[in-house]
Structure 1
Amino acid sequence: MPNVHPRRPGRGYPRSIVGRAGYHLYDLACPITPDTWTSALWGAHSATSAALQVRDGGERSAYAICRPPGHHAGRDFAGGFCYLNNAAVAAAVLRDKYQRVAIVDIDVHHGNGTQDIFYDRGDVMTISLHGDPAEFYPFFWGYETERGEGDGLGANVNLALPRNAGDNQYLDALHIGLSHLRDFRPQALVVALGLDSYKNDPLAFLQITTTGFERIARVLSSLRLPTVLVQEGGYLCEDLGMNLASFLTGFEAEQLQQA
């Protein structure tokens, strides 16, 4: 674990392992242990496997139960319990077949690592719905003024929600995000599936209900895109499994209705 973090990354790269830890680990939620790499790598393999099922296996959708999660991990940094960006890995696999891929992140926290990876790329759109970073982790990323740069200008969409926003307000924001997505015309979709926007989550900031997850899933499934669902957050509470079941049931039901 680091004991110092650089205020201006890129101004120097230390030889010291403690300095390098501070350079690459932007918070204290990503300690490195002897088994960290193996665990993170197999989490990324889960995302790869799901993406291959969609890309080459003929499946309309697949669900990757990734642990540790990944959406806070950027090109050269880790944070927020995330070491490798599983959603970005899935998108990269899909890009081998599809020219345009979209990532929609519904975790309660901003997908700052995903944003970092694709910020200057126009072939992968990143849309994140999350608690307002002015008062919620990760604090320094996730503002609506962050729209991408270079080829990626306009392909990064942040929708910051106020504390205690519920199902209807969330779905209104989701429809705004999907209007950008439709203009982008993606050929495949990755959903960074966070369940920590639940009203009784231990880190509760938003007020999404169990039924709300089903409604969100139906909207995403209605896009009729080849889709990889990549598990992100969702902290321990009695309703965690029920919320996952609600999302997956809604997603599948919408697909069956389209068939």
Structure 2
Amino acid sequence: MKTVFSDLQLSHSPKHEISDGELKPAVEIPSRAEIVLKTVQERGVGDVVSPETFGARPVRRIHAPDYVDFLESFWGHWSGAGRKGEAFPFVWPIRSLRPDPAPAHIDGLLGRYSMDAGTPIGEHTYSAATASAHTALTAAKLVHEGERSAFGLCRPPGHHAGIDFFGGYCFFNNAAIAAQWLRDHGATRVAILDVDYHHGNGTQAIFYERSDILFLSIHADPTQEYPYFLGHADETGEHAGTGFTRNWPLPIGTTWEKYSEVLDDASRWLLVYRPDYLIVSLGLDCFEHDPISGFRFKSDDFFWLGQRLSYVGVPTVFLMEGGYAVDALGTNCVNVLEGFEGG
């Protein structure tokens, strides 16, 4: 299995995040990708290739033009206003407040285009997010051209990013961008299976009214976990997309034994849908020692996860999402890939 990765993805290097009411050291850091890349190479998973350049169109097929323009120009406005260091939003246009017209002030724009205060923007965030999207696109292209599978070592991750907002460490929705690219290049149906501990709210919202992209997510109960406001079992799609979204919210403390039963159910949905391609939003934060998660996977369980995914029997694109226990992240990720390859 080929792995796609660009060093540009390491340039987004946040120092802090706001969580639990405190300013804390960031957990979505470059070493996450570095340890995965090192383990891929040490265990001989396959060749590591650089991403191709796809231009702006694939990203703008998913994300609103004004949002993309905001990310691209943000650092110039931020530094031009005399700001130093990482940028955090602190006000949002919720409920009775108006999102339009767009504020002229940089702090208003930050709030308009964000969903949380825990995802700082830095000088190189836009270039890293763009490289991450192109990594996903290259992995999709490899599978489109005949590979059984490919791994996009994406960082920053993507599944919390919506059409016009960032959050949850995510800026461009890599899985959505790759899925749309596959549709634009001849696929009739694409399925996205999100196995991150946290619900992929951005991906769900992007495709919620569409039947050509099936979205399935297994995650922690949003009444207890981020993103809190999406990912409930009664969210099944709307209009043309009715029935093409399915969520399995699980209690904190879930082990592989319980999770695997739900994964079997999700796999049955995939077998019925019969997608041309499967995209796996590969969050690795179900691990028992993950610092911001609450499931109880052991490292060996990720091998069984990969093996189960191979049973679906369709060309598969793996795109890295979360996972913050850095020391074990490479092992857990490669266990999935090897489990899939041997399954």
Calculate the TM-score normalised by the size of structure 2. 0.71
Unaligned 5+ segments in structure 1 are: 255-259
The structural deviation recorded for 1:214 is 1.0
Distance 1:6 1:182 in 2: 41
Counterpart position of 2:142? 53
Q: How does 1:32-181 map to 2 (within 5 A)?
A: 32-56=121-145, 58-95=146-183, 96-181=185-270
Distance 2:121 2:305 in 1: 35
The structural deviation recorded for 1:204 is 3.0
The structural deviation recorded for 1:236 is 3.1
Superimposed CA distance per residue, residues 102-156 of structure 1 (whole angstroms, 9 cap, x where no aligned partner): 0000000000010011011110000011011101111011101111111111111
Distance 1:50 1:203 in 2: 28
Deviates more, 1:77-86 or 1:11-20: 11-20
Distance 1:135 1:167 in 2: 19
Distance 2:98 2:240 in 1: 23
Rg larger in structure:
2
The structural deviation recorded for 1:10 is 6.1
Distance 1:69 1:49 in 2: 15
Deviates more, 1:177-186 or 1:36-45: 177-186
Superimposed CA distance per residue, residues 156-203 of structure 1 (whole angstroms, 9 cap, x where no aligned partner): 111001111101110111111222222222111000001000011112
Superimposed CA distance per residue, residues 57-106 of structure 1 (whole angstroms, 9 cap, x where no aligned partner): x2110000001000000111110000000111111122122100000000
Are 2:89 and 2:111, in contact at CA under 8 Å, matched by a contact in 1? yes
Counterpart position of 2:341? 252
Are 1:105 and 1:194, in contact at CA under 8 Å, matched by a contact in 2? yes
Match status 1:4 vs 2:4 = no
Distance 1:148 1:75 in 2: 17
Within the candidate set 104, 112, 115, 1:26 is matched to 115
The structural deviation recorded for 1:11 is 5.0
Counterpart position of 1:241? 330
Say which SS state the counterpart of residue 240 (structure 1) adopts: helix
Counterpart position of 2:4? none
Distance 1:178 1:224 in 2: 10
Deviates more, 1:109-118 or 1:31-40: 31-40
Distance 1:19 1:150 in 2: 33
AA of the residue aligned to 1:5 = W
AA of the residue aligned to 1:217 = G
Distance 1:158 1:13 in 2: 34
Deviates more, 1:207-216 or 1:29-38: 29-38
Distance 2:307 2:147 in 1: 18
The structural deviation recorded for 1:18 is 1.7
Superimposed CA distance per residue, residues 20-40 of structure 1 (whole angstroms, 9 cap, x where no aligned partner): 211110101222223111110
Distance 2:122 2:254 in 1: 37
Counterpart position of 1:257? none
Counterpart position of 1:218? 307
Say which SS state the counterpart of residue 158 (structure 1) adopts: strand
Q: RMSD between aligned alpha carbons?
A: 1.3
Say which SS state the counterpart of residue 327 (structure 2) adopts: coil
Say which SS state the counterpart of residue 66 (structure 1) adopts: coil
The structural deviation recorded for 1:14 is 2.6
Unaligned 5+ segments in structure 2 are: 1-87
Per the alignment, do residues 237 and 11 of structure 1 end up closer, same or farther by CA in structure 2, a change over 3 Å counting?
closer
Distance 2:206 2:231 in 1: 14
Are 2:290 and 2:325, in contact at CA under 8 Å, matched by a contact in 1? yes
Say which SS state the counterpart of residue 245 (structure 1) adopts: helix
Calculate the TM-score normalised by the size of structure 1. 0.94
Distance 1:50 1:193 in 2: 13
Distance 2:117 2:128 in 1: 18
Q: How does 1:200-215 map to 2 (within 5 A)?
A: 200-215=289-304
Distance 2:235 2:221 in 1: 13
Are 1:197 and 1:207, in contact at CA under 8 Å, matched by a contact in 2? yes
